[in-house]
Amino acid sequence: MRIVSLITAVLVAALLFGIVIERDRLFALVRDISPREQVTGPVETMAVAPETESASEPETALPEGVVRVMAMRSVAREIETVVRLRGETEAARQVSVLAQTSGKVISEPLRKGAFVQEGELMCQLDPGTSAASLAEAEARLAEAIARRPEVEARIPEAQARLVEAQARLQEADINAVAASRLSQDGFASQTRVANTEAAVQSAQAAIVSAEAGVKAAEAGLDSLQASIESADAAVARAKTEIDRLDITAPFAGLLESDTSELGSWLQPGALCATVIQLDPIKVVGFVPEADVNRVEVGTRAGARLNDSQEIVARVTFLSRSADPTTRTFRVELTAPNPELSIRDGQTAEIMIEAQGVMAHVLASSALTLNDEGTLGVRTIDAESKAKFMPVTVLRDAPEGIYLSGLPEQVDVITVGQEFVTDGVMIAPSFEEVIQ
């Protein structure tokens, strides 16, 4: 048994040595000792098979001037497009609240980052003599109003004097006429006639004086009305000055700066605090001139921030005037931000939905340029001639480039487009047929 085991071990070791170390020699030995397939028939007959003869036949010669190219038949399909922009977030409103009157701050300051409600007090100024000025203005207004009955009563009095003067003039006219007639018949003296004429003139003068009195009374009433309005304006001005002592938040928002410190002196135009509103938030970008007609107000849009946060928004503004330097148009998106998680000034990638368009999907290698540098493709017309057609690149995708500007169905040259020009006869081989 030991001898058999030893012989078996030796044979296995020899076989492993041959397979691992002398593998090439072992395979050559096996090929040499294996029987070969006998070939029947003449060698010449076996060398020239029907398939070999058909493969070695030369291609059909093309007419002079005809170029062979590879082409594909492309059919347009409708795709949804988006306008992609780079922009940034922007606060819906940002206001620097300034003082409108002079005074010392008597309120405790609010620290930046605090949330304030609309109308909440931020800076309160020392009233000083504002209350006394208001009381003085109100007293003048009351005095002017109290004088109104007296001034109004002067107008009827002046009008009565005017009526009395008119009656005296009428009486004087009658006496003068009577004296003149009596004088003509010799019953009255010239002295009496003169006295009656003098009475007429005196009555006329009294009428003029009475009319002046009426006008003076009316003017006094107008002057009193002006005094009342002036006093009323002084009261309103004093109240406004008092209202300006309390500087409040114009809207609900966050403080971007501390309010004025207690004891500081504010002049008109001095800063109390800066307030920003982040809900809703705006996302601002600039649309190129080529895409501005694809954007409409009210369209759904979205934005992706640098921290991968995504925003769903709508287009709320599209500028009608281009930036003179960049020739782009400002577009604004508005999105809710109830938790104030989106900050002002964050970089954002904007995506605005655009109307679907018909597009062809081609490999980028099919694109070429004409002599003017216009981007396009070489196509095959109905007469089998090459024709250049300009295209517009919509977007790039793993399956190819989406192009617009071509007919709904078109034969596009994919290989050999650089070797033909417009009008050259071509012999296309379509990729669909070959595949």
User: Rg of the Cα trace of the chain?
Assistant: 53
Q: What predicted TM-score, i.e. pTM, was given to this entire model?
A: 0.53
Domains within the chain, CATH numbers bracketed = 1-57 (no CATH), 67-76+363-434 (2.40.420.20), 130-243 (1.10.287.620), 274-356 (2.40.30.170)
The pLDDT profile of the chain, 435 residues, written as one tens digit per residue, is 467 677 777 777 777 766 666 666 666 665 665 554 443 343 343 333 344 334 444 456 677 778 889 999 999 988 877 888 999 999 999 999 999 999 999 999 999 999 999 999 999 999 988 888 888 888 988 888 888 888 788 788 788 888 888 887 787 778 777 777 777 766 666 676 677 778 778 878 888 888 888 888 888 888 888 888 888 998 999 898 899 999 999 999 999 999 999 999 999 999 999 999 999 999 999 999 888 988 999 999 999 998 889 999 999 999 999 999 999 999 999 999 999 899 999 999 999 988 777 889 999 999 999 989 999 999 999 899 999 999 988 878 888 898 988 999 999 999 988 889 899 998 888 876 443
In which residue are the tokens 């982040």 written? 278
Q: Which two tokens stand for residue 40?
A: 């029947």
Q: What is the pLDDT of residue 124?
A: 93
List the one residue out of 408, 413, 407, 419 whose CA is nearest residue 362.
413
Per-residue confidence (pLDDT) for residue 23, from 0 to 100: 61
Question: With contact defined as beta carbons under 8 Å apart, do 247 and 99 qualify?
Answer: yes
Helix (H) or strand (E) holding 253: strand 253-255
Between 148-185 and 130-146, two packed helices, what is the crossing angle to 10 degrees?
Answer: 30
For residue 188, what pLDDT is reported? 60
Are 272 and 260 spatial neighbours (Cβ–Cβ below 8 Å)?
yes
Contact 247, 123 (CB under 8 A): yes
